[in-house]
Amino acid sequence: MAAAASSSISSSASTSLRPPAALIRHAEPPPRATGLRSISGRPFLIGVRIPRSRWNRAINSVASDQKLKPPVSDEGVTMVEDPFVPDSSSIASSIKYHMEFTPSFSPDNSNLPKTYFATAESVRDMLIINWNATYDYYEKMKAKQAYYLSMEFLQGRALLNAVGNLELSGAYAEALTKLGYDLEAVAQQEPDAALGNGGLGRLASCFLDSLATLNYPAWGYGLRYKYGLFKQLITKDGQEEVAENWLELGNPWEIVRNDVSYPVKFYGKVIKRPDGTKEWVGGEDIKAVAYDVPIPGYKTKTTINLRLWSTKIGTEELDLNAFNAGQHGKAYEALSNAEKICYVLYPGDESREGKSLRLKQQYTLCSASLQDIIARFERRSGNHINWEQFPEKVAVQMNDTHPTLCIPELLRILIDIKGLGWNEAWNITQRTVAYTNHTVLPEALEKWSLDLIQELLPRHVEIIQSIDEELMKTIISEYGTEDLDLLQQKLKQMRIVDNVELPSSVSDLLVKAEDSDTDEQTEEAIISGSKDDELVEEEEPEEESTEGTTEVTFEPDPKLPKLIRMANLCVVGGHAVNGVAEIHSEIVKKDVFNDFYELWPEKFQNKTNGVTPRRWIRFCNPALSEVITKWTGSEDWILDTEKLSILEKFADNTDLQFEWREAKRQNKMKVAALIREKTGYVVSPDAMFDVQIKRIHEYKRQLLNIMGIVYRYKKMKEMSAEERKEKFVPRVCIFGGKAFATYVQAKRIVKFITDVGVTVNHDPEIGDLLKVVFVPDYNVSVAEVLIPGSELSQHISTAGMEASGTSNMKFAMNGCVLIGTLDGANVEIRQQVGEDNFFLFGARADEIAGLRIERSQGMFVPDPRFEEVKAYVRSGVFGSYNYDELMGSLEGNEGYGRADYFLVGYDFPSYLECQEKVDEAYHDQKRWTRMSILNTAGSYKFSSDRTIHQYARDIWRIEPAVLP
């Protein structure tokens, strides 16, 4: 048993140094007590009285096979006393205990960071109790369990979320007050866990919260990135990147499981054993070590697990001879190679070394997680392991294509290690694994170099080639060989291994088909020939014309690279493929994977994303939550968001509108304080707060937003002060988001936004009428301040390019009005909140391809206002930086980095006109407040609870397991 996990059960050690018993469970009912003493080696409770009669099911280590032996019930289930709700005094005692006996700081140093760690460790004690009880129950029930594999988990801070889910916010606030601290100030000492970047990771974290809250048996699996993606600095040169330091002082929420580690291999070779089976040998071996983070549900004992892998090598791998010879680099080479796998999220992949590191990350996640899942299945199966039952007990969800290697890795383990045959292993794999697609961008549908994977994972390439071979046979069986053009097209689109010669088993099928056609033609000629052959003159054969025809060839193109298409492997290897919004799922079926959809329509589903209402409104927006609870009549909406729709009937109520505006103003004051802290800019809370916070990318069109702001600024400068005041609503335009370190164009956009801000914010003629702010190092904690205080939120991606988005849901839930295109979840949000409460502009998804063709043909005529803005930017009004490259991307009709691929120019006029409607609506505060209320009322659909229920029912087929 991992020592840290088992600390939640009292041992019989003689020491009296124990956490206050308010926060521990005993294997036997403790005696009544009012102080901390040790009698017969058992600690007494501090200041609490618990009846002997209160018992409940017991606990065991989350990670270990070892068992303690506390009392058992008649049914054979271990028992311990039921936890009670601790009061502020016992919590304060627990915090003081951890300050003294679980120290991460010097004993003479009492400050906020030390208080935060002690508070977090106090909360963790309670989480461990429920955590262990949860998995003890799952072990005994042998429940089918879902495993969510993701390269990102953007958790945010854990302290306020944990005490909120435990319903102990008030008790902890009071306890810290007694100790001379403020809960909010203590919570702000916690760094955001640097385990993700954008919506992919935030969605994964919302899903974990919902899984725990809804009592579904599930785990998350990810990697423990030491330095995160990067910490973003904004300087005069734009964005700069430095390493995250979130682990510098340690992480009180994680427990290292030193007894849970698995070998992960790279390189080497494949050999054939005497019995014909294969084995992967040699190469480079590392160890993946488990770090566990508890994920508590809301108003439930269920506490599930996020297991993160860190990488290292065994001690024996250190070359001590080289070290003592002074060759320190050589001595540490193996250690360095292992540890760097979990250094940085999404390391730059411009070089082969960078690509290799990314692939190692993905394989480490897949291999360690599957070995762990299989070990758990075998343990729960006891002495009677039936592999056919594996898909009945295990569901693996791949969050995007990063965990694709789960498919060949599961096959490798089942075939090479567990001894199953190909057909059985393939059937088990397909029934176990499912895939969520998050993008329609071609560059995000990962394609790996065949040579690179062959070098790193030789056995997996063999397995992938076998899957590809089976796929090709299925395609030939489905479409036949009569139409070779069609067959070539299908193979080109659907193959997993791209631009590689056909295997002999497939080419033989085509040869047989051609021979069969030739035989049939000969037979027809004989049958139709004259009986009087000697009277028939032989005709000279006519030469066939080859003009206008293209020879059908299945040969690879030597000019193109050989690739493995991970998204195709996901579709083939899993039993379900889902998009994340209705429009996105339709694009997936009709465009991205149309050939597969025609072959296997039953695989494809939609699961519109959602966000947890606990973190994203109840905890981050207490002012508005109080108003909602008052007007809906209870806090039921936190678990049943359909209750939010009750607000609709009060949308015109004067009292509600007043309270709503007051809550919004409180939140705007917090935003203003954050902006001043992060940027030094002072903004007025009387202005409209207009926000676009998301990863910086051309398709998300921060460029369209800032170009619109430049136009607004230019028009203001052309007016008198009176005209400006009458024409424009005061606005604070807030941006936030990170541009990937090697994404040059995105970093130019960040530079452009900050340059515009410097000019506008220091213009005395404009004053508070317009401010432009880029909040550096955007993360979950920043979002938790910005979203509640936002009034207009921009979701303006090129239609058809955003899979779903989740920030749009968070904004709507917090009463923010959206401006956007018909893209991703915007479509469904607009349906839910009402068309009159959503500002719509821009081309539709089904128009985009045609508009690009028109552009390439020189038919696009830009709006004069668009040309005016580009000229204004080039005039140097925003500084000396040369913006020709950025403006040039919006010009021309063809070419890489040209021709305005994301249609900023096309949508610009309708965007400006839509922004005029925004100003008009905001002038009428009663109307605006009504729109805000109706956005919250209509957002009920977008709870991640609803999404998880659908995954559990339609894909994972798991049932809630409620702890008794």
Active-site annotation, residues: 438, 694-695, 700, 806, 810
DSSP lists the bridge partners of residue 290 as: 257, 309
Q: How many residues are recorded in the chain?
A: 964
CB atoms within 10 A of CB 37: 13
**Which stretch of DSSP H or E encloses residue 107?**
none
φ and ψ of 81, to 5 deg: -65, 150
Q: Contact at 8 Å (CB) between 316 and 301?
A: no
Q: Which two tokens stand for residue 702?
A: 């921060």
**Which stretch of DSSP H or E encloses residue 33?**
none
φ and ψ of 918, to 5 deg: -60, -50
Q: Which two tokens stand for residue 695?
A: 């990863």
**Measuring CA to CA, which residue among 518, 424, 412, 499 is closest to residue 463?**
412
CA distance 841 to 829: 15
CA distance 42 to 21: 11
Q: CA torsion, points 470, 473, 477, 482, in degrees to nearest 10? A: 160
If 0-12 CB within 10 Å is exposed, 13-18 middle and 19+ buried, where does residue 508 land? Answer: exposed
Question: How distant, in Å, are the alpha carbons of 489, 492, 495 from that of 595?
Answer: 10, 10, 11
| Residue 369, C-beta contacts closer than 8 angstroms, at least 6 positions apart | 147, 149, 221, 307, 309, 403, 406
**Cα R_g (the chain), whole angstroms:** 31
Q: What is the 3-state secondary structure (H, E, C) of 820-877?
A: ECCCCCHHHHHHHHCHHHEEECCCCHHHHHHHHHHHHCCCCCCCHHHHHHHHHHHCCC
Q: Contact at 8 Å (CB) between 627 and 663?
A: yes
DSSP lists the bridge partners of residue 303 as: 296
CA distance 782 to 677: 12
Q: Alpha carbon 75 to chain centroid distance? A: 41
Amino acid residing at 394: V
Q: CA torsion, points 726, 729, 732, 734, in degrees to nearest 10? A: -130
CA distance 920 to 550: 60
DSSP lists the bridge partners of residue 433 as: 396
If 0-12 CB within 10 Å is exposed, 13-18 middle and 19+ buried, where does residue 433 land? Answer: buried
| Residue 300, C-beta contacts closer than 8 angstroms, at least 6 positions apart | 212, 213, 215, 962, 963
CA distance 330 to 336: 10
φ and ψ of 599, to 5 deg: -80, -45
**Measuring CA to CA, which residue among 79, 16, 70, 88 is closest to residue 45?**
16
CA distance 760 to 182: 37
Q: Contact at 8 Å (CB) between 270 and 462?
A: yes
DSSP state for residue 7 in the 8-state scheme: T
Q: Contact at 8 Å (CB) between 444 and 459?
A: no
Q: Contact at 8 Å (CB) between 698 and 656?
A: no
DSSP per-residue string spanning 663-700: HHHHHHHHHHHHHHHHH-----TTSEEEEEES---GGG
Distance, first Cα to last Cα, the chain: 24
φ and ψ of 390, to 5 deg: -55, -50
| Residue 515, C-beta contacts closer than 8 angstroms, at least 6 positions apart | none
